[in-house]
Amino acid sequence: MDQHAVRILIRRKLADARLPQDLPRVTGGPGSGQTCVGCDLPIPADHYAIQSIGDAKAIELHTGCFYYWDAERTRPAREGASAASA
């Protein structure tokens, strides 16, 4: 899946609440084979993964997907805004 497609998928998941808007406490470590909540692909043990900890529902993402999610969740809303940017 290319980077643009992953960003679009993450944007959609944020829009319909499949991904949280709030940043949970996170830690990192090797993947466990769990499915990445960003791109829906497994995270193998030889890849680094970002995992939520604490009270939030446990989620695991590829590092790249985590950064896309963080960028998308903090991105000013543009779709549907009155000012169309080029």
Q: Residues interacting with Zn ion, by CB under 5 A?
A: 36, 38-39, 62, 65
The strand pair at 25-30 and 60-62 is best described as unpaired
**44 and 62 Cβ atoms separated by less than 8 Å:** no
- Give the residue with the Cβ less far from Zn ion, 5 or 82: 5
- Give the residue with the Cβ less far from Zn ion, 21 or 40: 40
Minimum distance, C-beta of residue 62 to Zn ion, in the bound complex (Å):
4
Minimum distance, C-beta of residue 52 to Zn ion, in the bound complex (Å):
14
- Give the residue with the Cβ less far from Zn ion, 36 or 59: 36
Burial class (CB in 10 A: 0-12, 13-18, 19+), 64: middle
